[in-house]
């Protein structure tokens, strides 16, 4: 029984079809990467699964329950947490308090929420930043805080939206280590979006590729990397033609 | 029947003047997303300008429109450069707070200078004259002239916004300030211009309305609320929307007339007991609330 | 128990702040024992009243970031419930006040449900509209005295009447509202650290993110709106007994609504001390400017001109209010 089962998910914005009959399933212990060029519909897919956009057609099953029509907060309460790509925080919550908001989903007790938040900050090496404001932090730390906040809700599954975008190679290594630890040590199923292909290939058990709102490939990272359809989507028609000529 | 047609006519005419009041608000809102609580105070300034210029120069109040427009234009630009510019850097609540301060400031300045009493236009070409156009409709000449000139002012602003380079630059600033700045449009100057045009149109409306409505320092708030309602109904930032919504709101303020018509025509006695005249403006607020909730884009939702 | 502990726990403030707060609190406590003018004590009572209004507004407006400009309608509901019940059926304050809260909160749910589908400016103006509609209705409703309003005549009772809250000397009112003021601070201190308080601050930050953290944004706002309403309604009931003469124009006007929001914004929206500082600056300023410049010098309006100019300068220069300024200075110093 897969933990997440997406069936024929379709999403239209006005006349534009952002997701076209996407289907895939995800097992409990998997780490799935979603890649695709800009505008391929990755973030839309995430928003649909997380309940932020109403879907046009299709079905989303999470943990044996149909969550297709549930609002975002109900999806979150069922154990499906997510991060956001651009996080505009104008407010006055410090890092610890941000993570506590997540932790408050499972408890009413302030002390308990605080303990949970501190525990997560410890795991993500954010302890010394607990009192800082989000807007004062460098991008890499901000990304880690958004992950910590999502983890505060004690999810079964985590959706990560471009947590490595804008980071330097050293920082990317750090994020990778954190994602691995979340996946292995905390036992949380992870699905991540990224358009930096190398990163996804490096960490994922399985990769699906989106292009123009459709799923064009699904499989092991190594298989995906050799798939001509994927190369075409990323590098364009001409590149494929020229290089395939070289091989033959 | 007479009362029905009279109410219709009065509502439409008053509505046309009201849409000119709301025009300034919608231009300012369209260009820079700020809510101006002092809008009605600019109208009050226009009313005093019209009245006092007419008295001082001994001319008909309707001839004071250019003066009112000039005063409004300058006032708008001064307000923008001296105050609003700084508010725009802050959060929304600072804008509400700041323009509320401006409203209080202008209102009490007027109180200090002009005193609390009502003042009205007593002489003029059209004051006291009216036309009987049949069907029992009697139209006060001042209202007709106000509506006609409001229409003309509206058309002028519409032409300015749609047919000139400056207007296009304004529209560009409204749609995408950052993009406009990259295209070399001086957005700061455009904002100031929007305030100038916005305030000029409302002071002109004031100089028109003063012909049939007496002025005192507290008059502003009512018109601010009416203008908010019109702008919301017409769609925030929409110029044609403001025109039609103005007429709708004008008609809503004439609801007591329609109520009387129903009462007498169908002889519903219970209707006599409802003091409809006291609810004159309440229906505007009710309409605003309902339309905002049901159709947040406004009644004519054709913005962009 | 946990909640009570949190309400009394101010340990996240610097010690210097707490010392100042305790000294000011002690000064409030003993103030009436020293010789004072009737005007001074009346101003103090107004200060407490507006601090409490501001605290109520601060829940939804400050922590939640929803600029509510219709709080006066709940002042009105509270005040009218208490006044009508006292005049018509001789029901004392301590019974009519909770009933007033019940009415206010019910009304807040009815209009809150559609109201919170709106955001930003649209929300702010819609709150004004609802308040004005209610005021217009009260102005023609004969049962509550229409536009003339209601008058509680103290002669019928034997002051000091603690049950009905009818007193001849202001000092009684002073201590009653001071007690409410202290309770208000304790409640707010609990609220800001509660789950709902955290949820609201997250909503103010970013509604989509808040949703993804399991927060039912719409419902959280409605709940908080009801809390703000209850605060305002209690003080409205007190206002009726204290002023004894209530009209729609005083209790439900837009000016009052905006003044309530102003207290919190000026002092610093979204902070515990903000509304109190705001009221502490604005109320004496307003009363004394009026006393010195308006009434005695005969310059009508000049007090409000100065008052307006101060509001304008603060909103343009330091939109986070006085408390925001204090925090900015502190942060600069700690660097």
Name the residue facing C305 among B83, B112, B115 (closest C-beta).
B112
Q: Is A77 on the interface with C (CB under 8 A)?
A: yes
Least confident span in A173-187, B239-253, C154-168, C228-242: C154-168
pLDDT score at C335: 64
Question: What does the DSSP 8-state code read for residue A126?
Answer: -
Q: pLDDT digits over B93-133, tens only?
A: 788 888 888 998 998 888 888 877 888 777 666 666 666 66
Contact B101 C311 (CB under 8 A): yes
Q: pLDDT digits over A5-27, tens only?
A: 888 888 888 778 888 888 888 88
Q: pLDDT digits over A69-99, tens only?
A: 888 898 888 988 888 876 655 567 888 888 8
Q: Nearest-5° angle of CA C222, CA C225, CA C229?
A: 140
Q: Is A142 on the interface with C (CB under 8 A)?
A: no
* DSSP bridge pairs for A94: A133
Distance CA B223, CA B210 (A): 13
Q: Is C263 on the interface with B (CB under 8 A)?
A: no
Q: pLDDT digits over B242-274, tens only?
A: 888 888 888 887 777 777 777 777 767 666 666
Residue C54 banded pLDDT, cuts 50, 70, 90: very high
Q: Is A216 on the interface with C (CB under 8 A)?
A: no
- What residues of chain C lie within 8 A of the CB of A107, using their CB? 195
Q: How far is C203 from chain A (nearest CA, A)?
A: 9
Interface ipTM above 0.90: no
CA nearest neighbour of A39 among A16, A21, A56 = A16
Helix (H) or strand (E) holding C136: helix C120-140
pLDDT > 60? residue C48? yes
pLDDT score at B78: 92
Q: How far is B38 from chain C (nearest CA, A)?
A: 12
Share of chain A above pLDDT 70, in %: 92
In sequence order, which residues have a C-beta less than 8 Å from that of residue C256 and are 6 or more positions away? C71, C72, C75, C250
- What residues of chain C lie within 8 A of the CB of B289, using their CB? 114, 126, 129-130, 133
Q: Is C325 on the interface with B (CB under 8 A)?
A: no
Q: Is C137 on the interface with B (CB under 8 A)?
A: yes
Contact B282 C133 (CB under 8 A): yes
Residue C294 banded pLDDT, cuts 50, 70, 90: low
Q: How far is C212 from chain A (nearest CA, A)?
A: 6
* DSSP bridge pairs for A208: A34, A218
pLDDT score at C147: 74
- Across the range A143-168, mean pLDDT stands at 86
Question: Using an 8 Å Cβ cutoff, are A55 and A49 in contact?
Answer: no
Distance CA A150, CA A163 (A): 12
When mean pLDDT is compared over A103-112, B40-49, B141-150, C285-294, the highest value belongs to B40-49
CA dihedral for B32, B34, B40, B46, sign (positive or negative): negative
pLDDT > 80? residue A245? no
Q: How far is C252 from chain B (nearest CA, A)?
A: 14
Q: pLDDT digits over B164-212, tens only?
A: 777 777 777 777 777 777 777 777 888 888 889 889 989 988 888 887 7
Distance of CA C189 to CAs A108, A132, B227, C201, Å?
A: 16, 22, 40, 14
**Given strand A4-13, what is the order of strands in its sheet?**
A16-26, A4-13, A57-62, A65-66
- What residues of chain C lie within 8 A of the CB of B90, using their CB? 315-316, 319
Residue B134 banded pLDDT, cuts 50, 70, 90: low
pLDDT score at C226: 94
Q: pLDDT digits over B37-87, tens only?
A: 889 999 999 999 988 888 888 777 778 888 888 999 999 999 999 888 888
Contact A73 C208 (CB under 8 A): no
When mean pLDDT is compared over A144-148, B30-34, C121-125, the highest value belongs to A144-148
Distance CA C244, CA C251 (A): 12
* DSSP bridge pairs for C166: C161
Distance of CA B272 to CAs A196, B95, B254, B267, C143, Å?
A: 74, 44, 16, 9, 18
Question: What does the DSSP 8-state code read for residue A38?
Answer: T
Give the per-residue SS3 of chain B: CHHHHHHHHHHHHHHHHHHHHHHHHHHHHHHHCCCCCCHHHHHHHHHHHHHHHHHHHCCCHHHHHHHHHHHHHHHHHHHHHHHHHHHCCCCHHHHHHHHHHHHHHHHHHHHHHHCCCCECCCCCCCCCCEEECCCCCEEEHHHHHHHHHHHHHHHHHHHHHHHCHHHHHHHHHHHCHHHHHHCCCCHHHHHHHHHHHHHHHHHHHHHHHCCCCCECCCCHHHHHHHHHHHHHHHCCCCHHHHHHHHHHHHHHHCHHHHHHHHHHHHCCHHHHCCCHHHHCCHHHHHHHHHHHHHCCCCCCCCCC
Q: How far is B179 from chain C (nearest CA, A)?
A: 24
Q: Nearest-5° angle of CA C266, CA C257, CA C120?
A: 75
Name the residue facing B35 among C121, C269, C319 (closest C-beta).
C121
Q: Are strands A57-62 and A157-161 parallel, antiparallel or unpaired?
A: unpaired
In whole numbers, what is the pLDDT of chain C averaged over residues? 85
Query: Best of C213, C270, C273 to disrupt the A interface by mutation (most A CBs within 10 Å)?
Result: C213
pLDDT score at B125: 64
Distance of CA B143 to CAs B9, B69, B122, B128, Å?
A: 10, 19, 15, 11
Name the residue facing A76 among C193, C194, C214 (closest C-beta).
C214
Q: pLDDT digits over C75-91, tens only?
A: 999 999 998 888 888 88
pLDDT score at B168: 78
Which residue reads 């009815």 in tokens? C110
- Across the range C16-27, mean pLDDT stands at 87
pLDDT score at C180: 92
Q: pLDDT digits over A178-205, tens only?
A: 888 888 888 889 998 887 777 788 888 8
Q: pLDDT digits over C22-41, tens only?
A: 898 888 888 888 888 888 88
């Amino acid at each position: 029984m897969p933990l997440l089962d997406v069936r024929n998910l379709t999403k239209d914005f006005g006349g534009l079809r952002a997701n076209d009959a996407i289907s895939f399933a995800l097992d409990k212990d998997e780490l799935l990467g979603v890649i695709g060029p800009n505008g391929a519909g990755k973030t839309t897919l995430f928003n649909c699964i997380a309940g932020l956009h109403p879907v046009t057609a299709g079905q989303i099953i999470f943990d044996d329950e149909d969550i297709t029509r549930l609002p975002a907060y109900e999806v979150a309460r069922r154990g499906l947490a997510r991060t956001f790509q651009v996080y505009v925080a104008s407010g006055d919550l410090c890092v610890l308090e941000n993570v506590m908001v997540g932790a408050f989903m499972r408890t009413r007790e302030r002390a308990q929420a605080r303990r949970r938040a501190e525990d997560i900050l410890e795991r993500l090496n954010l302890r010394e930043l607990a009192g800082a404001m989000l807007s004062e932090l460098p991008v890499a730390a901000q990304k880690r805080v958004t992950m910590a906040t999502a983890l505060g809700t004690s999810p079964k599954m985590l959706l990560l939206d471009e947590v490595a975008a804008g980071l330097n190679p050293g920082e990317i290594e750090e994020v990778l280590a954190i994602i691995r630890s979340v996946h292995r040590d905390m036992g949380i199923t992870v699905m991540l979006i990224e358009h930096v292909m190398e990163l996804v290939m490096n960490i994922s058990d399985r990769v699906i590729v989106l292009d123009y709102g459709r799923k064009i490939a699904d499989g092991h990272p190594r298989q995906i990397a050799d798939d001509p359809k994927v190369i075409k989507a990323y590098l364009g028609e001409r590149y494929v033609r020229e290089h395939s000529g070289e091989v033959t | 029947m007479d009362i029905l047609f009279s109410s219709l006519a009065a509502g439409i005419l008053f509505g046309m003047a009201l849409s000119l009041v709301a025009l300034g608000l919608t231009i300012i809102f369209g260009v820079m997303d700020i809510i101006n609580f002092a809008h009605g105070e600019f109208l009050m300034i226009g009313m005093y300008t019209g009245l006092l210029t007419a008295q001082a120069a001994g001319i008909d109040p309707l001839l004071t429109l250019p003066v009112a427009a000039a005063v409004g234009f300058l006032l708008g630009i001064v307000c923008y450069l001296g105050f609003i510019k700084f508010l725009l850097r802050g959060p929304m609540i600072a804008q509400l707070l700041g323009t509320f301060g401006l409203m209080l400031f202008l209102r009490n300045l007027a109180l200090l200078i002009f005193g609390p009493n009502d003042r009205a236009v007593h002489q003029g070409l059209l004051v006291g004259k009216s036309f009987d156009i049949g069907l029992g409709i009697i139209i006060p000449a001042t209202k007709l002239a106000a509506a006609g000139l409001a229409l003309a002012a509206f058309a002028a602003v519409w032409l300015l916004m749609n047919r000139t380079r400056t207007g296009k630059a304004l529209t560009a600033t409204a749609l995408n300030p950052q993009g406009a700045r990259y295209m070399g449009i001086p957005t700061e100057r455009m904002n100031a211009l929007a305030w100038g045009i916005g305030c000029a149109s409302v002071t002109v409306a004031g100089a028109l309305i003063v012909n049939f409505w007496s002025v005192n320092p507290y008059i502003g708030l009512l018109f601010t609320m009416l203008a908010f309602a019109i702008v919301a109904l017409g769609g925030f930032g929409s110029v044609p929307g403001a025109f039609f919504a103005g007429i709708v709101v004008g008609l809503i303020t004439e609801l007591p007339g329609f109520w009387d018509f129903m009462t007498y025509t169908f002889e519903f006695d219970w209707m006599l007991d409802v003091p409809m005249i006291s609810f004159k403006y309440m229906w505007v607020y009710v309409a605003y609330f309902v339309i905002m909730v049901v159709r947040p884009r406004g009644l004519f939702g054709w913005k962009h | 128990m946990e909640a009570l502990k949190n309400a009394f726990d101010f340990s996240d403030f610097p010690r210097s702040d707490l010392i100042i707060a305790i000294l000011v609190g002690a000064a409030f406590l003993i103030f009436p024992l020293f010789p004072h003018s009737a005007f001074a004590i009346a101003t103090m009572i107004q200060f407490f009243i507006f601090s409490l209004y501001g605290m109520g507004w601060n829940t939804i407006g400050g922590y939640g970031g929803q600029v509510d400009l219709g709080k006066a309608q709940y002042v009105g509901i509270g005040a009218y419930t208490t006044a009508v019940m006292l005049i018509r059926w001789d029901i004392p304050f301590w019974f009519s006040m909770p009933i007033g809260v019940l009415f206010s909160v019910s009304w807040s749910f009815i209009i809150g449900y559609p109201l919170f589908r709106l955001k930003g400016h649209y929300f702010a103006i819609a709150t004004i509209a609802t308040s004005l509609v209610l005021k217009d209705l009260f102005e023609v409703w004969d049962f509550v005295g229409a536009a003339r309003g209601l008058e509680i005549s103290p002669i019928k009772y034997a002051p000091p009447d603690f049950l009905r809250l009818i007193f001849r000397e202001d000092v009684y009112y002073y201590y009653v509202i001071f007690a409410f003021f202290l309770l208000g601070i304790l409640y707010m201190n609990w609220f800001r650290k509660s789950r709902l308080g955290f949820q609201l601050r997250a909503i103010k930050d970013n509604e989509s993110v808040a949703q993804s953290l399991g927060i039912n944004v719409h419902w959280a706002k409605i709940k908080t709106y009801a809390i703000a309403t209850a605060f305002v309604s209690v003080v409205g009931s007190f206002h009726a007994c204290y002023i004894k003469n209530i009209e729609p124009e005083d209790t439900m006007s837009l000016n009052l609504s905006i003044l309530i929001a102003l207290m919190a914004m000026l002092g610093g929206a979204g902070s515990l001390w903000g509304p109190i500082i705001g009221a502490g600056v604005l109320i004496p300023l307003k009363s004394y400017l009026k006393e010195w410049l308006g009434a005695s010098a005969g310059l009508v309006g000049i007090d409000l001109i100065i008052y307006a100019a101060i509001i304008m300068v603060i909103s343009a220069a330091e939109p986070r209010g006085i408390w925001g300024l204090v925090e900015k200075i502190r942060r600069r110093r700690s660097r």
